[in-house]
Each structure stands twice: as structure tokens, then as C-alpha cells.
Amino acid sequence: MTHVLDALPLDFTDPKVQQLETALIQTFPTAGDLRMVLRKSGISEAYVNLLQPTAAAWQEVLDVARKQDRLRVLVAVVIREPNSAAIRPMLEALLADTLAATPSAEAPPPDEPIAWKSDPTPDGLERQIGAQSTLLDVSFLQRGIEISPSVVKLVVTLNDEMRYNGTGFRISDDLLLTNHHVLFDDQGPATTVEAWYGYERSFAGATREPQVIACDQGTIVGRKDHDWAVVKVASPLPAQARPIEIAGAPTPAVADRVYIIQHPDGRVKQIGMVHNTVVKVDDDRIGYLTDTEGGSSGSPVFDEQWRLVGLHHRWETDVVGGRRRIYNQGVRIERVVEGLAAAGVVLEGAA
């Protein structure tokens, strides 16, 4: 049996992983603590969004550490820290626990040979597998390509003089929408903002050189409660980056599918579109299983008609049927539209 620290991906529903996560959150609760642990573990903080809440940041740290095969190194680093005295016995026991695999025997053969069963219907060569069809018109791909240029990578300098990655998208002639936590920290708005247009990879694998567009940090406006913020570009965006319409889409329902164009971890533009079902909807938020990573904060969330339904901002967790469930979460775009109006933000040339 694979040790919990060696499982890939790391299983956050495992009680031992949850115990480790809780202990780290309680013992190292600040962004400075996380930076120290990352540095000593040989993990670049560029892979982690340290502006998010501590619980979310620590889960991201553990996930990145496992993907980089440095989770055991991280645990060993923590064990040596002076303020780890209370959790040190648990951590040492976790490292020492090899969880030797139980010997297994081959299953006995079945009494009768197992044959493939065919569909008894006369026209049963093909069929829909699930309760809901996943087939889409091929024009879905074309529309996604048309919208994609409007999504940009953001490189932000905050008041700690550190540079952070995020995602944003054009909603008017000169305005980009992203998350409040991308453009603000506890000391106020960002000191510099860059929009990287066209930072993508060709199908052949070549990374395209982005067009870096400066933004005017003096125009930053945002609201923390619904985690939105906008900033104006200081020079025109390319014509291909058309403003994305932010109003008029119906509210998604549970089991609908949503798609997220994003710059995960500050990398080239990607799309999350697998196991992308909506699992939760309330007046303010949409929960979904669409994949994101640190750096995806501020990405647009689209329905199957490429209508904007949400502003992605973080992951969340709840308990369903006695089991912990992890999902991603976006702010419903209606709440953002209301916030923009209340703040007096004018969308010139909006779609």
C-alpha cells in the first residue's frame, strides 16, 4: 500500500493528511510562515497563491510539495522548527509509518467464462453512456477560440514588493476584471500591474511571446466581500481581445457544466473543461469541479453557450454524506455586476 505522503495526487480526504493539514495551519498561520517553510523545503513560492486564506494556501502548498516530490522534505523541515514542539510527535510518527502492504492473493477464477454483452436493441451499436449527454456542437470550440484572446495573465506587485500572478479579462474598452485578492493586500491596492496578452502555446508546443501591456494602478477599484476588482489598461488592448459581456446569462444549475479559461500558476493560457460539473449554487457563489491552480484567480467562468456566469476566486470544502468534498468556487457574475454599479464603474464600449 502506498504511504499517504507518497500518494499522487495527495488524498485530502485521508484522515492522516487532514490531521497534517490542520496541524500546519494552526502552527504556521501567516504568509511569512509559509514563505519560510517553502524556502527551507526548496519549493518556489511562485507556485502558491500566498494571498489566499491560510487554510487554502496550506492545501496548495501540500499539493505542490507532493507534485514536486518534496512533501517528505517539507515535513522534515517542519519537524525541526522550534515552534513545532506540540505537533512534532505526530509528524515523526507520520514519517515513520511505512504502512507495509498487506499480502494479497489472486482472486479465484469465475465459475463461468465472462462474455461481453451486446445491446439487445436492434440499433444498439452506439449509445449515450451517462444520464446527460456530453456532446457539443463543434462550433463550441470556435466560439471558445474567439473569446480566449480577452483573457490575460496579470503580473502584480503588491505592497510587500513581491510579484504575484493572476488572471483577468477584458470587460470594456479599457477595463480588466479580476479578483480583489489579486489586486489588493492588507496594505491597499497593487503598486504595479501588467497584463500579458497572447501568452499561449502553439499546438506544436512553441511558447508565444506575449504583448506586455502596463495598467494604471491609480484606477484600481474593488470590493472584498464579493472578491472583485478592476483596473484600466494604460494603452489599448489588441482588437482581438473583445470585451466579454458580463450580464444576461442565466444562473447555472447543479449538474450543468462550466468552463474556465485561465493562466494556472502563471503559465501559458489553458482551459479547464474536464469533470467540470456544477455541484453547488447559492445567491452569491457557484461551486464546480473544473480544475484551476494558483494564478487562476480572476478567471472567467463560462457556461456551455460561452456566457459569463462567474468570476473564479478560490477552492472550498464541505461535507457531503459524511465525506469531505473539495470543489472550486466562483462569485456569481450578478453580484459582480451589482458591485460595479454601486461603485460607479462605467463600462465604456462594453459588449
With bands split at pLDDT 50, 70 and 90, how would you rate the model's confidence at 102?
Answer: very low
Does the structure show a pLDDT above 60 at 13? yes
Q: Contact 151/261 with Cβ under 8 angstroms?
A: yes
With bands split at pLDDT 50, 70 and 90, how would you rate the model's confidence at 3?
Answer: confident
Q: In the sheet where 278-281 sits, what is the strand order?
A: 270-272, 259-262, 300-302, 308-320, 323-332, 285-288, 278-281
CA distances from 4 to 22, 85, 95, 216, 307 (A): 15, 22, 10, 47, 40
Please, what is the angle between helix 71-80 and helix 31-41, to 10°?
Answer: 120
pLDDT value of residue 101: 34
**pLDDT, tens only, 324-350:** 899 999 999 999 999 999 999 999 877
Does the structure show a pLDDT above 70 at 84? yes
222: which 3 cell numbers?
474593488
Tell me which of 107 and 6 has the higher pLDDT.
Answer: 6
pLDDT value of residue 318: 92
pLDDT value of residue 306: 97
Report the candidate in 260, 262, 219, 227 with the shortest Cα–Cα distance to residue 348.
219
**pLDDT, tens only, 14-45:** 899 999 999 999 999 988 899 999 999 999 88
Does the structure show a pLDDT above 90 at 163? yes
CA distance 37 to 40: 5
Upstream peptide bond of 120 is cis (omega within 30 degrees of 0): no
With bands split at pLDDT 50, 70 and 90, how would you rate the model's confidence at 8?
Answer: confident
- Per the prediction, the chain carries an average pLDDT of 90
Question: In the chain, pLDDT over 90 holds for what percent of residues?
Answer: 70
CA distance 32 to 51: 11
Separation of CA 70 from chain center: 21
Does the structure show a pLDDT above 60 at 119? no
Residue 215 backbone dihedrals phi, psi, to 5 degrees: -115, 160
- Start-to-end CA span in the chain (Å): 55
Q: 50-83: buried (b, 16+ CB within 10 Å) or exposed (e) per residue?
A: bbbebebbbbbbbbbbbeeebbbebbebbbebee
pLDDT value of residue 99: 37
Ranges 37-41, 223-227, 283-287: which has the least confidence: 37-41
**pLDDT, tens only, 265-280:** 999 999 999 889 999 9
Q: Which residues pair with residue 156 across a beta bridge? A: 164, 193
CA distances from 230 to 11, 27, 67, 217 (A): 36, 35, 33, 10
CA distance 187 to 59: 25
Does the structure show a pLDDT above 60 at 120? no
Mean pLDDT calculated for residue range 306-311: 98
Give the CB-side neighbour count of residue 161, counting CA atoms within 13 A.
0
Does the structure show a pLDDT above 90 at 121? no
Q: Contact 11/62 with Cβ under 8 angstroms?
A: no
Does the structure show a pLDDT above 80 at 312? yes
Mean pLDDT calculated for residue range 231-258: 95
Q: What's the whole-model pTM score?
A: 0.67
**What is the DSSP code (8-state) at residue 332?**
E
